[in-house]
Amino acid sequence: MAQDHSAQDQQPIELHYWPTPNGWKITIMLEECGLPYALRLVNIGKGDQFKPEFLAISPNNKMPAIVDPDGPGGAPISVFESGAILQYLGRKTGKFYPADARSRVEVDEWLFWQMSGLGPMAGQAHHFRIYAPEKIPYAIERYTNEVHRLYGVMNKRLADREFLAGDISIADIACIGWAKSWERQGQKIEEFPHFKRWLDTMLARPGVQRGLAVSSDDRQKLDLAKDKDAQAVLFGQRARP
């Protein structure tokens, strides 16, 4: 069922979403920017991501995706891939994505670092540590160690600055959903004091809190560790029978 999160007198952005680290990137961004949005839940445990109407806007059958009725030139536009959505919303609003070319390059570096490194590696750590039907020590060690390395990179970066790329940006927003689950990734946060300070700062922001709370009840209802049908959909990448 759609939920209307409109706060302003304008057409809401249609957000196709499920409460996961990638989905949270967009709810946090929308809340931080004060943009109105209408929620379209994509229950990934039931295979909603394989429905033709969703594939029409997200051909990789992954959420999140958005449809902005007021896109460039006033015409509707759909955007998939969480990093691309963050960039689009940053350009649209002028928030959390600097206009200065050098500053924008810096933000893009850390955004793509998250998209290509932190997200995939943390996701694999979650999978092999929590969800895999058999415990494979090599895989668990491999991905746990790589997340440890990435948090070390982040910790060093944050040693002399408050946020990843100057002021708070879409790079920080991209990282928070994964970073807050450090314990599930087998990490000890006391090893990363600058990372911990950044994490506490981000989690204290009201917009972040609101974004993380969107449909949190639905996340709790899906017990992926026990729901074998949902595992078959997500890990087998096929529609639910």
pLDDT digits (tens, 9 = 90+) for 23-41: 999 999 999 999 999 999 9
In a domain, 63, yes or no: yes
For residue 78, give the DSSP letter: E
Percent over 90 (pLDDT), the chain: 81
Check: CB of residue 145 under 8 Å from CB of residue 121.
no
Q: Are strands 77-80 and 65-68 parallel, antiparallel or unpaired?
A: antiparallel
List the domain range (segments joined by +) for residue 33.
3-95+209-236
pLDDT at 8 over 50: no
pLDDT in tens, 130-164: 989 899 999 999 999 999 999 999 999 999 999 99
Same domain, 172 and 118: yes
Query: pLDDT at position 1, please?
Result: 34
Extended strands (E) in 104-211: none
Q: Is residue 241 part of a domain?
A: no
pLDDT exceeds 70 at position 59: yes
Same domain, residue pair 73 and 128: no
Residues 39, 123 within the same domain: no
Is residue 105 domain-shared with residue 198, that is, in the same domain? yes
Higher pLDDT, 141 or 2: 141
In terms of Cα–Cα distance, which of 183, 184, 175 is closest to 202?
175
Sorting pLDDT into bands at 50, 70 and 90, what band is 46? confident
